[in-house]
Chains A and B, each alone.
Chain A
Amino acid sequence: MATQHSRSAARLMMAPAVVLLLGWMLVPLTMTLYFSFKRYLPLRGGDLGWVGFENYTRFVTSSAFWPSIQTTLLIVGGVLVITVVLGVLLAILLNQPMWGQGVVRILVIAPFFVMPTVSALVWKNMFMDPNYGLLAHLWKFFGAAPVEWLSQASLPSIILIVSWQWLPFATLILLTAIQSLDGEQLEAAEMDGAPAYKRFGYITLPHLGRAITVVILIQTIFLLSIFAEIFVTTGGAFGTKTLSYLIFQRVLESQNVGLGSAGGVYAIILANIVAIFLMRIVGKNLDA
């Protein structure tokens, strides 16, 4: 596609970005690996020597480890399912002819622009508070006892908050995809006698495949590292401790850097498994 001259120029222009990201990846990664083989307690003596794989075994055998993996997967999976399903429905609804479409779009996308700390605080205090929260009022209005959302139904509550933040993103991308659907295809299917639900299943949904992949890829990247939503609402209590949060607690709260670093290595491995899996699908889907 190009000449030798432009090829070497290209390599030169790509270098800063590649070098910076490589450094950003390798330097802390190496340090994390280093610490993970040490007993390292910054506030209680600092570097206390090499311990081999002790941190790794301790991290996995701690009672909090498997629940944290489960929590992580539940939150990521739950949010993905909710945002994709509701996103498809909402995108179809918004694609119908109506008055004030532009305004509705603005209303729907708004939560995406709200910083996670704000949305977590607002939901926690003004909606999910068992005494004064709006949901408590709603429950009382229907004669039900208010729910202590963040302790009794902590995981669903967090999934709800995070889904609210990401639904706009999914909806908007899926809406864009639906709008690009060739109307003639649907009309051809209609001429062929396909009822509405079949037209959806055989034409609209496959057309959305690519958009759904993109939604899943990007959301997973961001969801694996959600932090503020848990930090602000439950602080990791009531079974909402994700792997990330568990590591955060080991490093910052218990100040056990060695143990936390071993956890970090696990988190990196988990992320890589998810990444490889995603890249496979997405790489294929993005090529076309």
Chain B
Amino acid sequence: MGQIQLNQVTKSFGSVEVIPPLDLTIEDGEFCVFVGPSGCGKSTLLRLIAGLEDVSSGMISIDGADATQTPPAKRGLAMVFQSYALYPHMSVRKNIAFPMKMAGIDQAEQNRRIDAAAKALNLTDYLDRRPGQLSGGQRQRVAIGRAIVREPAAFLFDEPLSNLDAALRVGMRLEISELHERLATTMIYVTHDQVEAMTMADKIVVLRAGVIEQVGSPLDLYNRPDNLFVAGFIGSPKMNFIEGPEAAKYGAHTIGIRPEHIDVTDASGPWSGKVGVAEHLGSDTFLHVHDTGLAETITVRAPGEVQLHYGDAIHMSPRAELMHRFDANGLRMA
């Protein structure tokens, strides 16, 4: 079980309110991702749930029981830190055993769980090494192993992949997703990387300046962003925003159109411009188009290989049905 509920939770450091009153429910078994730019309060929120910070006001309940004043050790949560936070003076086996030792679990059971975790995480050959002798990805797995053996009500991940290189990150992302499928335990995952959020989450919580901008499934956020911030944050390359007369044509203050929702047309099209940098990825081509009279740059994602280069003049047709309209306050218009 692992349902976590935040009720009017706030957090201030001195006179600075980093989290204004906030309500959020994370259902049992859900993979919930907190995403937002750095300094948006996502890590603070996670640490409040962990009990590593006191809430300034409000209530946190875990499985319906008030846990606001419960010390971190007693909340039954496990956390994987950004720096992995492995104990450098202990072997991998002892690292993984530590939470069980603290909980007073008997030795045989400890060994059983360590072996199971090591097997699941491909750590069997490394159990007697020190963390210092492991690679980044292996350390990450040890940290996860240490979390698993506690059989926690929920896992908390604080940007666990940000110290890994790109290739490893993709691999670990899959491993964590698989782990979630297998254990079906609640997971709360903090990241600033919207790709991680989109690929892993059941539910994404987009935060800015301590305020929840939108909560929803990845595709909800992609298809129906509530405001300009979410629209700009989710999706890569970023959504194009156009203001002024062009937006007025659609009866909006700002219109947003994703790069993948603009078609390149040779001869004619409502929009035109000059290709700046063209990024040829093979699977796609990203065109950064200038001199459109609409915005500084319009980014277009054309599928496959497109033979366009710096300085080429092109025409573009946005798919009007996939266009997002926002009012002067940046909120989505129906």
Contacts and interface: CB of A to CB of B under 8 A. Distances in A.
Determine direct contact between A and B, CB below 8 Å: yes
Interface of A: 2-5
B52 interface: yes
Contacts of B53: 2-3
Nearest to B53: A3
Interface of B: 51-54, 71
A68 B230 CA distance: 72
Nearest to A3: B54
A5 B51 CA distance: 11
B138 to A, nearest CB: 29
A199 B73 CA distance: 53
A45 to B, nearest CB: 59
Contacts of A2: 52-53
9 contacts: A2-B52, A2-B53, A3-B51, A3-B52, A3-B53, A3-B54, A3-B71, A4-B54, A5-B71
Nearest to A5: B71
A4 B52 CA distance: 10
Best-buried of A2, A3, A4, A5 by chain B (most CB within 10 Å)? A3
Query: Which of B53, B54, B71 gathers the greatest number of chain A CB atoms within 10 Å?
Result: B54
A3 B53 CA distance: 5
A28 to B, nearest CB: 38
B307 to A, nearest CB: 40
A37 B53 CA distance: 53
B18 to A, nearest CB: 13
Contacts of B54: 3-4
A4 B51 CA distance: 11
Nearest to B72: A3
B48 to A, nearest CB: 10
A2 B53 CA distance: 5
A5 B71 CA distance: 9
Contacts of A4: 54
B52 to A, nearest CB: 7
A2 B72 CA distance: 11
Nearest to B52: A3
Across the A-B interface, give the 4 residue pairs with the lowest CB-CB distance, nearest first. Answer: A3-B54, A4-B54, A5-B71, A3-B53
A4 B72 CA distance: 12
A268 to B, nearest CB: 35
A45 B83 CA distance: 70
A5 B52 CA distance: 10
A5 B53 CA distance: 10
A3 B54 CA distance: 5
Contacts of A5: 71
A3 B51 CA distance: 8
Nearest to B54: A3
Contacts of A3: 51-54, 71
Given A3-B51, A3-B53, A4-B54, 5 more contacts: A2-B52, A2-B53, A3-B52, A3-B54, A5-B71
A267 B52 CA distance: 47
A79 B52 CA distance: 49
